[in-house]
Structure 1
Amino acid sequence: MSQPEAFGRYRVIRRLGSGSFATVWLAQDDLLNYPVAIKVLAENWAHQMDIQHRFLEEARILRQTDSTWLIAVHDVDVLPDGRPYMVMTYADQGSVADLVRRGQLPLDEALRLLTEIGQGITVLHNHGTIHRDIKPSNVLLQSSPVGQRVLVADLGFAKSIDEASGFTAAAGTPGYMSPEQSIPGGDLDVRSDVYSLGAVAYELITGRPPSRPPVRIAPGRIRPGLPPALDELILSALSVDRESRPGDAKTFTDRVRAIRMAPDLPTADPWWRRYRMPWHKVGGLVVALAVMTMGVTASVGHPGMDLKLVRSNDHSLEMRVPLVWIDEFDTDLEARPVTVNAGAEPGLLFATDAENWRSADQPSYGVYATVMPGVQPLSSITDTEPCPGAPTERLIDDGMWEGSAWDWPDCNDNGSFTIAAVHESGVPKTVYLEIRQPDYRPDLVDKIIGAVTLR
């Protein structure tokens, strides 16, 4: 969707992100001189009445609960083409997922966030609603006069508790949803949200999401020094048997609050314990880090072209992107139609201009990556050439990744463009990448491909 000028009286500034069902825009209410976020139903769902109903039901729930801990809906309207949109609170500090990506949180900070998330879910439960899609990217952060404020958002899958026995389709996000949510027709209750709170807690504490159920590795084995009560609480919330979980969000949140307020809560882990680093290896690590940093910078070869580690929300896909390209990002960008047909998942985009990533006229540099099942050659998943003229085809074989890349050294007078499809030996998954750069540098392309990691 191209950027509109306005939605009603709200002047559009830029796109904040998009998902499978909607796009969210930052806009300015010029009448009240206040920024807002506007969520608009995606064009491909414009005529699906059940999706429209779900979209409007989300707005109704948020409006009716009207809680400090939930994103607020200020207005709802319909575009001329029939698509509804809702005007919401703008969360200027991103999401909890953004926070986790920056590094491990102090324990007290992680527990504070978890307490406030739990309070938001408690409000929903008291309202008679199950969220069904609690995850770090659906918890937003907003500046406030008293500091950072947590706002639970994205109630697109939310349903009334009274209807919990009649769900006919699985809903939620793998890694965060309870085992019973993956079974269509499963009998759900508020303990499904408790499982998701446990998964979010695990990631806030350790920096990575839990494994698939049953989860057996306690957070304290990843981050030594945690209170035993915290390990016990998180593992109980992640129990496959929902009878073993805390009874509701309030019970879970009260226990988190009690752990946080305990006088013996560790204020910080010593760094050697946090990383389980034997003292005699410290010197070697410092040297290794120095060599690695010098190697990356030198191999890239341009000032300011250091590579920064970025990852998907579930940490299943990691890659390194030149820092100067990361002005905007989208961690749920729909793949090109031909790769969707090949089974591609929504992908990662880090670029100078995310909105115009696939525009032939606008200069935009960055990296897009998605994952497809099976080993698929590049020729089988590329239907239209993104640039005029024939590409330069070359093989990729760096000892880890095998596949091929097509390079267009000059793409529409807008730098170079590369597409690649690579796989690891013996692993039935293909990583598809698009790389735009201002200059033709195949060495940088190879460096980016070589730093991709699948988990």
Structure 2
Amino acid sequence: MSQPEAFGRYRVIRRLGSGSFATVWLAQDDLLNYPVAIKVLAENWAHQMDIQHRFLEEARILRQTDSTWLVAVHDVDVLPDGRPYMVMTYADQGSVADLIRRGQLPLDEALRLLTEIGQGITVLHNHGTIHRDIKPSNVLLQSSPVGQRVLVADLGFAKSIDEASGFTAAAGTPGYMSPEQSIPGGDLDVRSDVYSLGAVAYELITGRPPSRPPVRVPPGRIRPGLPPALDELILSALSVDRESRPADAKTFTDRVRAIRMAPDLPKAVPWWQRYRMPWQRTAALLVSLGLVVVSATASAGDPGVSLTPVRYATQRLRVEVPATWAREFATGREVLPAAADHASRPGVLAATHADAWHSADAHSYGVYATVVPEGGAPSGVADTEPCGTAPNERSLDAGGWEGTVWEWPDCNGNGALSGAAVRRADAPETVYLEIRQPQYRPDLVNEIIGGVRLG
């Protein structure tokens, strides 16, 4: 198919890829000034009503689920020649398959991706749908204000769980599909997707897909030093006997998450260090010990030095946030109790546990920021005593911002809390921030405030 100029109001930029049933184009929505991906049914299937029905069913499922972990469908239409097309989220960072081809992933990163893929499949299962074609190339990656989002895509083979018995044709991709999927008329359930999740997990961890079933070589033999629980989980998911697999995607994902959050995970020595010459191994061990300390601290919420920008367009607000704090991101959050009586407005929150931000006994580290209208500066924050004691108060002059910082070096045993009300000499608005840290670091508070931008 030659490149068209447009699909409706969407101006075509270039082709992203094509498969047996469809071609995907990158296009620009000039009305909203936003890039989109447009999936168009291939010309040779234009008059196959069953294929058209499958194409539109994919769009319906994605539209109805409307999940953070799935590609979103914004619109569906039909070309003059009768072929349907759907307008979808554009994933600007390619796919997980692209990521794997660049080299072996750090273990924590592989488990993060696997957790998010599992969450997407869990959403589908809760919706009553089996994906049937889970593989790295069908998991897309999109930029977000706090890093990278995983988007499960390509539901062309998806079927209702209620209709998952007696399929007349095999469907899926060899190497990732469960053994029962290769048998026409086989009885399928959500455990077929669990097998595929196990195959994706194997490749994420080792850099190579599993062998044909039965899979007998554990990932730890290819990448020594893996937690035994991870080997056990992946091999159980890849079991030929589906009764031996985890019951569903949620069960599988919960176990991956528990492995990832185990305190001893960063202590595993990377596989490639085990095969160096002795003098190289000694040097590598010293480096890895340093990395373990950093990783263990980061898992507790200590930010290290890497900052990532978080934006809140409604208030034209941009804040630099320690990357390891920005695991969860929310905008429009209501003002926090410490400033509730001081005319603040909903703002932006980036934190390790966003839902626990208001809890007095939860360890949640991050940054909350909001713009306060002229005349509404929360100067009485210290009087609220959110930590049960009076704060240390200091003046601030950093990055063009001037104001007051109230600090509680130990807030109810949950680390340090800092509140700040700052403004620039050339702007009428005040920015109110709350910064929660695992340890008291006023230098980091100054750095975060100095990086705030308005406009």
Please state which band the TM-score falls in when normalised by the shorter chain. Answer: 0.5 to 0.7
TM-score, normalised by the number of residues in structure 1: 0.61
Q: Aligned with 1:90: secondary structure?
A: coil
- The aligned counterpart of 1:48 is 48
Q: Note if 1:103 corresponds to 2:82.
A: no
Match of 1:84 in 2: 84
Residue of structure 1 in register with 2:73 after alignment: 73
Deviation at 1:198?
0.1
Question: Structure 2 vs 1, CA of residues 261 and 40 (structure 1 numbering), >3 Å: closer, same or farther?
Answer: same
Matched, 1:32 2:25: no
The 1:8–1:235 alpha-carbon spacing in structure 2 relative to 1, beyond 3 Å, is same
The letter of the residue matching 1:243 is: E
Q: Distance in 1 between matches of 2:272 and 2:120?
A: 36
1:421-432 equivalent positions in 2, closer than 5 A: none
- Does the aligned pair in 2 maintain the 1:214–1:239 contact within 8 Å? yes
Partner residue of 2:376? none
- Cα distance, 1:270 vs. partner? 4.0
Question: Could you tell me which residue of structure 1 aligns to residue 193 of structure 2?
Answer: 193
Aligned length, in residue pairs: 281
Q: Which residue of 1 aligns with 2:254?
A: 254
**Are 2:227 and 2:268, in contact at CA under 8 Å, matched by a contact in 1?**
no
- Deviations, residues 159-180 of structure 1 (Å, cap 9, x unaligned): 0000011311000000000000
Contact 1:227–1:265 under 8 Å retained in 2: yes
Aligned residues of 2:223 and 2:271 also touching (Cα < 8 A)? no
For residues 267 and 154 of structure 1, the distance between their equivalents in structure 2, rounded to whole angstroms, comes to 37
Equivalent residues of 1:165, 1:185 under 8 A apart? yes
d(CA) in 2 for partners of 1:79, 1:54: 17
Gaps of 5+ in 2: 282-455
In the superposition, the TM-score normalised over structure 2's length comes to 0.61
Name the SS of the counterpart of 2:265 in structure 1: coil
One-letter code aligned to 1:186: G
Aligned to 2:219: 219
Give me the whole-angstrom Cα distance separating, in 2, the residues matched to 1:9 and 1:109. Answer: 38
- In 1, Cα distance between the equivalents of 2:268 and 2:225? 9
CA distance in 2 between counterparts of 1:138 and 1:38 reads 15
- Alignment map for 1:248-397 (pairs within 5 Å): 248-266=248-266, 269-270=269-270, 272-273=272-273, 276-277=275-276, 279=278
* Alignment partner, residue 183 of structure 1: 183
For residues 272 and 118 of structure 1, what CA distance do their matches in structure 2 show? 28
Does residue 2 in structure 1 map to residue 2 in structure 2? Answer: yes
Cα distance in 2 for residues equivalent to 1:6 and 1:261: 47
Per-residue deviation, 1:147: 1.0
Q: Distance in 2 between matches of 1:170 and 1:271?
A: 38
Provide the secondary structure at the position in 2 that maps to 1:71: coil
Judge conservation of contact 1:225–1:266 (CA < 8 Å) in 2.
Answer: no
**8 Å Cα contact 1:272-1:278 kept in structure 2:** no
Task: Please tell me whether the aligned partners of residues 95 and 137 of structure 1 are also in contact (alpha carbons under 8 angstroms).
Answer: yes
Whole-Å separation in 2 of the counterparts to 1:49 and 1:278? 62
CA drift at 1:269: 3.3
Between the aligned partners of 1:126 and 1:258, the Cα distance in structure 2 is 21
Cα deviations by residue, 1:202-234 (Å, 9 ceiling, x for unpaired): 000000000000000000000000000000000
Question: Is the contact made by 1:106 and 1:268 (CA closer than 8 Å) also made in structure 2?
Answer: no
CA-to-aligned-CA distance 1:272-324 (integer Å, 9 cap, x gap): 445x3454999xxxxxxxxxxxxxxxxxxxxxxxxxxxxxxxxxxxxxxxxxx
SS of aligned partner of 1:225: coil
Letter in 2 for 1:125: H
1:270–1:260 distance in 2 versus 1, CA, 3 Å: closer
CA contact (8 A) 1:132 1:171 kept: yes
CA–CA distance in structure 2, aligned partners of residues 233 and 271 of structure 1: 19
Alpha-carbon distance in structure 2 between the residues aligned to 1:77 and 1:272: 51
- Alignment partners' CA distance in 2, 1:280 and 1:260: 31
**Deviation readout 1:63-104 (Å, 9 max, x if unpaired):** 000000000000000000000000000000000000000000
8 A Cα contact 1:230 1:256, kept in partner: yes
Partner of 1:365: none
CA contact (8 A) 2:166 2:184 kept: no
Which has the larger Rg? 2
User: How far apart are the structure 1 equivalents of 2:280 and 2:25?
Assistant: 49
Identity in percent: 95
d(CA) in 1 for partners of 2:280, 2:109: 30
